[in-house]
Structure 1
Amino acid sequence: MTLPEKIPLLPGWLFLLAMLTALSPLSVDLYLPAFPVIASQLQVSSSEVQITLAVFLLGMAFGQLLYGPLSDLYGRKPPLYAGLTLFFIASIGCAFATDLTTLTAARFCQALGGGAGVVISRAVIRDRTSTVQAARAFSMLMLMLGLGPILAPLAGGALLLVVGWRGIFMTLAACGLALLLGVHFCMRETSPSLGNGSKPKLRSAFNQYLSLACDWKFMRFVLVGALPFGGMFAYVSGSPKIIIDLYGIEPNHFGWFFGLNAFGMIFGSQLNAKLVARYGPATLLKYVLLAPAIATLMATLSIWAGTINLSQLMLCFFIYMTSMGLLTPNAVALAMASQGHRAGSASSVIGFIQFLFGTLAVGIVSLWMSPTALPVITVMLGLSAASLLLHRISQPNAPGQITEQFGES
């Protein structure tokens, strides 16, 4: 049995995984400032351009189901080669799209390819770390993910001025190619099935999904983490309308408001990295689930009372995003704790359910027409409250049930 590795502050292998994980979110945030220009050049409305975002999230959800079993069967690196190659080609396709249909199809393929990095990064962390170390590692990933929403809209706006919206997608293609080279030259294979000679058949690998769906110990933490994750996408999709349309903030200043809340997620993830070694992921998760539910409940009551203002909404968003920085790493680490023999498939299920809730949340916010922030806040409240309720009413783990080492897997 290979002992879990100790994690320095940010080792090279974890930095590479962070970049792989951030690739798909970067593909969302980087082109947001280009929506009006894309709509103008393709002669469609801005709402029609938003279809490309919804399709991207849907592609991320279903794409992640592919890579987990494949990574358990063939190792972690070959599916990454395939996914990053598809991402590279699809990004070029986006850059040369001449109509919305082509752009939408290319975005779906881009999401299918980019999902490989998200899934396999979680599996590699599971291969190389213990439960507490994994929670710390996922916190480091959250740091990189938090930097994306801060820097990407600003970078996207600058790229739009210099190279246009097509140049934004060429930049994404270059990122995909750079990561493909990084995986080839700098990443070692970590799949335990390749080292012990036990190579599952592909049908058996996909059958793991049914087994995982029936594993309540696993699904409990998956759902607890995925529900508020969907609420986060409600915020992402609805924040431009709230900040720009409802409160009259100039579009060129939107990135600063958006980035402030992303900084909250960075702060939460780094706070979690320090606290998890002392209190453990299960204890932290138990208490941090209260924060997003309470914040969104207070904001909802203020909206109904007609007393809500932008400062109060920004405080609610900041608390929610900060909570995500503590909530997500611990929920994922606890879900993955007993899945060493099928970490790739488990990671796929986590990603699929996260982005499925994200797609659902974006759909509700888009269809719910309201001149207030009520759709966004209500969806965030509903999902965070459901997560809290599920955690409280589901069977708690007995002391010692969640091990600190993965040796039993």
Structure 2
Amino acid sequence: MPFSSFFRTALVLGLLSAIGPFAIDMYLPALPAIGTALQADVGAVQWSLTAFFLALGVGQLAYGPVSDRVGRRAPLLFGLGLFIAASIGCAVATDVRLLVALRFVQGLGAAAGTVIPRAVVRDLHTGTEAARLMSLLMLVFSVSPLLAPLVGSGVIALAGWRGVFWAVALAALAGIALVRRALPETLPAAQRSSGQGSLGRALRAYGVLLRDRHYLGLVAIGGCCMAGFFVYLAGSPFVLIDHYGLSPVLYSLAFSVNSAAFFVSAQFTARLGRRFGLAQVVRVAVTGAGAVMVLLLAYFASGGERLAVLLVLYFCASALMGLVIPTTTVLALEAHGAIAGTASALMGTLQMLIGTGAMAVAGHFASGRPLPMVVGMAAGALTGVALTWLTLGPRGMARAAQAAR
């Protein structure tokens, strides 16, 4: 594929993937204001975030097999339409329970933009070329955590928190135009699974994946990275704004800088993978991130309180995790090209459930102070280290090779 076409594909897929996260990241600076406006406590407002993540995970289970059967474009267009309708509902909601329900529906729509672009990458490439395309996709995708909190702060200042939902509805409408004009179908009709007995076929495909220990290990490694990030995502608005006194704009800048570390480092995955091997990249990056999080936990457990330490050390951990997510994604999908949509869906669902579960558990211990949040982040990182050496250590790689044969 020529570079211009390669980059154009990454641009389209990255922008489509960013629409759902944009609805999260623009929303973060508004959490305290939503609680005040709807007379809801912190826990109730956080449920509007949790509901979105749950739907984002569960919805992928449907989109993956459907996209393997009917192609990639149609379910993507459906999901974007559902996202728009739910976003408009959120914009006019007057009760926190209704907002939570509509956020769930919004997450179901956003799931299409999460699972299908990964399947498109597998349709087009494998190996280091897939890692290269996935990294470029993530570079484009990075506009969400880098710009969305800042854009959200600006929208909130001009139009209040409801303006955030009108803005993401317009973004999804632009996404529909992008799909129709710039994303050709990547799964030819001859390669699609038959519609006859589609439910049974989907269940069999999921059965194949759930018996693949190597696939599940790689999915869980990525899920542990996401778990630490989800804990930070849910806790950081209250820790940084309420505890440390940052304004919504300064919070958005701090969030964006840490996100930049993740997405910039992701651009080195293909180059490092060609030189050292993708599995070695994952081993080193996960171990390094775990070591950094141990340092961060030790600092706050010993009574430290400096915000700079939190931001600098998490910046380092984010950079290392940026080498993990695209690499584990490529490795997990490598052997499942015939059911790439289903494999991508199960991956997204399991990782989203791992992250959401971690966020829910951490929420029970949240106090608005840094230590409980850091404990949750470190727990995710250290679990990822253990899973990496079980999955990609000598014994794990030998089992995977034997299963492949």
Q: TM-score range by the shorter chain?
A: over 0.9
2:352 aligns with one of 355, 374, 377: 355
User: Unaligned 5+ residue runs, structure 1?
Assistant: 403-407
Shift of 1:37: 3.1
Residues 52/368 of structure 1: CA separation in 2 closer, same or farther (3 Å cut) = same
Q: For 1:139-168, what per-residue CA distance to the aligned partner results, in whole angstroms no more than 9, with x for missing partners?
A: 122223333222111101111122232222
Aligned to 1:405: none
2:205 aligns with one of 201, 205, 208: 208
CA contact (8 A) 2:235 2:366 kept: no
Residues 391/35 of structure 1: CA separation in 2 closer, same or farther (3 Å cut) = closer
CA contact (8 A) 2:68 2:193 kept: no
Aligned to 1:278: 275
Residues 49/372 of structure 1: CA separation in 2 closer, same or farther (3 Å cut) = closer
Distance in 1 of aligned mates of 2:109 and 2:192: 28
Aligned to 2:95: 99
User: Is the aligned partner of 1:80 residue 2:76?
Assistant: yes
- The range that moved more, 331-340 or 287-296, is 287-296
CA contact (8 A) 1:234 1:361 kept: yes
Distance in 1 of aligned mates of 2:78 and 2:281: 37
CA contact (8 A) 1:132 1:280 kept: no
- The range that moved more, 103-112 or 273-282, is 273-282
Shift of 1:91: 0.9
How do residues 3-402 of structure 1 correspond to structure 2 at under 5 angstroms?
A: 5=1, 8=4, 11-192=7-188, 194-196=189-191, 198-199=193-194, 201-203=197-199, 204-370=201-367, 372-394=369-391, 395-398=395-398, 401=401
CA contact (8 A) 2:264 2:322 kept: yes
TM-score using structure 2 length: 0.92
- The range that moved more, 371-380 or 354-363, is 371-380
Q: What is the one-letter code of the residue matched to 2:235?
A: G
SS in 1 for 2:39: coil
Residues 260/398 of structure 1: CA separation in 2 closer, same or farther (3 Å cut) = same
CA contact (8 A) 1:261 1:317 kept: yes
User: Unaligned 5+ residue runs, structure 2?
Assistant: none
Distance in 2 of aligned mates of 1:389 and 1:40: 42
SS in 2 for 1:189: coil
Residues 350/41 of structure 1: CA separation in 2 closer, same or farther (3 Å cut) = same
Aligned sequence identity (%) = 34
Q: For 1:339-384, what per-residue CA distance to the aligned partner results, in whole angstroms no more than 9, with x for missing partners?
A: 1000000000111011111111211221104464222222222222
Distance in 2 of aligned mates of 1:179 and 1:218: 31
SS in 1 for 2:396: coil
Residues 197/260 of structure 1: CA separation in 2 closer, same or farther (3 Å cut) = closer
Shift of 1:7: 5.1
The alignment's C-alpha RMSD in Å is: 2.3
CA contact (8 A) 1:229 1:324 kept: no
Distance in 2 of aligned mates of 1:71 and 1:308: 48
